[in-house]
Amino acid sequence: MNSRIKILPENLANKIAAGEVVNRPESVVKELMENSIDAGAKLIEVIIKNAGKNLIQVIDDGIGMSEKDAELCIQRHATSKISTIEDLEKIKTLGFRGEALASIAAVSIFELKSRRSEDELCTILKINENASIIKEKDSAQVGTTVSVKNLFYNVPARRNFLKSNSTELKHIIESFKRISLSNPGISFKFFNDDDLIFDFNAGSFSDRMKSVFADNILDALIEVKEETDYLSMTGYVTKPAYLRKSKGEQYFFLNQRYVSNRIVNHAVFTAFENILEKGDYPFFVLFMRVDPKKIDVNVHPSKLEVKFDDDKEIYSFVNAVIKKTIASYDLVPSLSFDDRASSESLNFQNVNIERGNFSDRPRQASVSSILSDDEIDRLFESLNAEIKVTGNDSAGDGPFDEGQPKEIYHTTDRISQRENETPFIVQLHNKYILSQIKSGLMIIDAHVAHERILYEKALTSINANIPFSQQLLFPQKVSLDPADFQLVKELETHLINLGFSFKYKGKNRVEIVGIPADLKSEHEVETLLEILHEYRKNEQEKHLEITDNLAKSFSCKAAIKAGDKLSETELRILVDQLFATSMPYVCPHGRPIVIKIPIEELDKKFGRT
């Protein structure tokens, strides 16, 4: 009786395997370049024709192969990278599966040339259309050249699924750039249809960043650097002013290998969450080094996926490092008095400062430093340090006129005296806080500053699980619609940890007997309703996690409003508490809290330059 189960012929098995390893021209480029890197190449050239459909050629100056190794390398599961099961747990090379060349050769007209330094002639292997192997000898430089012609010629269904030339070329270039980024010590050249497109010289990582992206790319980035015994991470993340609208500009390399990892991406995005607006994505190029024994790169033939021993530890590490990096920089937008004034004139001036150093922030102001409206007028008049001109026209003709006779008088002594005083701090139109800093004038939006303070306090209260509530002298009863009543019951534990205290009084009615310490008692009912509304809105539009959502909803509705007048003491406390937060520059929803006007801009406006 004949068996129905058969062992597939080798050429058919290779074609099946090729479907996993080689799915488009970019896959071939990636596999061949990684082989060149593993071979110790110092120069790698990639030649592409017809978006890789007609020709993919990779030339390197690596160690080359002997005749025997050249014959073996095109066999399935032939590799020089590993030999035992233990080797699989400590992989340090980019390739190790021994499948790439066999898979590529199975779906193309394949040619390999290779020579070692100790060999006089190179070995040439050609695999033609009938899968026969032709072996030749010739003269050539030390290194290896692999030529892949007519990719998928014998798998027409796969070839028909290839996209347009522009799309396939885009994928090839993206892979070329990734590999170039992670290997700045290697020179790379890229030819497309005989035109030299990229010529990256070996150098430092910063040089390679400039070559791959733009000469001024580093101006838009913040350096990341954190090393521990177990993990280390280096690279760059974008400054807030340069957030992107594309998901495709995030580069993560694990032990020099480019991988796609949702855990790392989410950790970075979460670190930026208070800066990102809807549709924004942070650009980053990050390199992580981990003990190879702690990761598994043998998840998929493409080797783009990886598994960590401890996902939570990796997530926490990446999130903490990125948050620390962002917080270590001055992210205050600087306002320029440009004639084309618009949102584009707000440029984030990111100055590298020590963590926790807020030297360019308002200093503690004394009671005597609070100025009246008349004093503020005189202050801005005194920007012309030599003279002051007052009009003799009727009162109100000019912005600073007081109806006084026209005269010129010197103000040098008065200004000198003011310079020795404690820097002023005032509230403008009951909305903004103005304060002198060493570089000029700082303007703080009081509402969003209070939001940031309350947001961090709320997170601490909720997570601490130690309720603290100020009891109301007169408890407030409130009738809720069924949906809000149900939401209160769902959030009860979190609301209690936040500082609310309730009693249920029949159908859809609750009695508020205690409120958070930061909430004004006369607005407890309205604020609770607003928090519930804001929470539901965030849940529908932003899909926020419960704790974060509630903290943002509370801070938004409990913060002081535009128009609320603050005393001098309240101003000072608000500013001090703001700069004690982890992110004093951006509110929980991504709006700027602080803007600087450099003294140079004021000088220009008053003709001092």
**What are the pLDDT digits (tens) for 356-414?**
444 455 544 333 333 444 543 443 443 333 333 333 343 344 333 333 333 333 333 33
Other beta carbons within 10 angstroms of residue 588's beta carbon come to 22
Which residue in the block uniquely carries the two structure tokens 């310490």? 517
∠ CA(189), CA(191), CA(195), 5° rounding? Answer: 125
pLDDT of amino acid 347 = 43
**Cβ 29 vs Cβ 169: under 8 Å:** no
156 versus 284: which is more confidently predicted? 284
**Cβ 224 vs Cβ 287: under 8 Å:** no
Task: Render pLDDT for 459-487 as a digit per residue (tens, 0 to 9).
Answer: 888 888 877 888 888 888 888 888 888 88
Stretch among 35-44, 164-173, 271-280, 519-528 having the lowest mean pLDDT:
271-280
Other beta carbons within 10 angstroms of residue 252's beta carbon come to 23
Token pair recorded at residue 292: 């190879």
Whether pTM > 0.85 for this model: the answer is: no
**Cβ 527 vs Cβ 550: under 8 Å:** no
Token pair recorded at residue 356: 């926790």
**Cβ 288 vs Cβ 308: under 8 Å:** no
Closest CA to 433 of 562, 343, 331: 562
Other beta carbons within 10 angstroms of residue 310's beta carbon come to 11
416 versus 214: which is more confidently predicted? 214
Task: Render pLDDT for 15-27 as a digit per residue (tens, 0 to 9).
Answer: 545 445 688 999 9
pLDDT of amino acid 298 = 53
pLDDT of amino acid 341 = 40
Which residue in the block uniquely carries the two structure tokens 């040619």? 111
With H, G, I as helix, E, B as strand and everything else as coil, classify residue 205.
helix
Instruction: Provide the mean pLDDT of the chain.
Output: 78
pLDDT of amino acid 211 = 94
The answer on pLDDT for 57 being more than 90 is yes
pLDDT of amino acid 224 = 94
Average of pLDDT values for 36-54? 95
DSSP string, 279-347: T-B--EEEEEEE-GGGEE-TTSTT----EES-HHHHHHHHHHHHHHHHHTEE--EEE---TT-SGGGEE
pLDDT of amino acid 383 = 36
Average of pLDDT values for 503-528? 84
CATH superfamily of 447-568: MutL, C-terminal domain, regulatory subdomain (3.30.1370.100)
**What region does 303 belong to: left with phi over 0, alpha with psi -120 to 50, or beta?**
left
What topology does CATH give the domain 10-203? Heat Shock Protein 90 (3.30.565)
Percent of the chain topping pLDDT 90: 27
With H, G, I as helix, E, B as strand and everything else as coil, classify residue 174.
helix
pLDDT of amino acid 418 = 42
336 versus 601: which is more confidently predicted? 601
Q: Which pairing describes strands 440-445 and 470-479: parallel, antiparallel, or unpaired?
A: unpaired
Average of pLDDT values for 236-249? 75
Average of pLDDT values for 279-291? 88
Alpha carbon separation from 518 to 150, 457, 458, 463 (Å, rounded)? 70, 9, 10, 17
What is the DSSP-derived secondary structure letter of residue 586?
B
R_g (Cα) of the chain, nearest Å: 33
Q: Where are the domains of the chain?
A: 10-203, 213-327, 343-445+595-605, 447-568
590 versus 301: which is more confidently predicted? 590
pLDDT of amino acid 548 = 84
The answer on pLDDT for 82 being more than 80 is no
Q: How far apart (Å, rounded) are the C-alpha atoms in residues 264 and 563?
A: 42
What topology does CATH give the domain 213-327? Ribosomal Protein S5; domain 2 (3.30.230)
Alpha carbon separation from 139 to 117, 134, 142, 149, 362 (Å, rounded)? 12, 17, 10, 22, 73
Q: How far apart (Å, rounded) are the C-alpha atoms in residues 268 and 76?
A: 39
pLDDT of amino acid 323 = 87
Token pair recorded at residue 291: 């003990």
**Cβ 189 vs Cβ 46: under 8 Å:** yes
Residue 17, H or E segment: helix 10-21
Average of pLDDT values for 488-502? 89
Closest CA to 184 of 203, 166, 165, 170: 203
The answer on pLDDT for 351 being more than 50 is no
Same CATH topology for 10-203 and 213-327: the answer is no
Average of pLDDT values for 502-524? 84
336 versus 323: which is more confidently predicted? 323
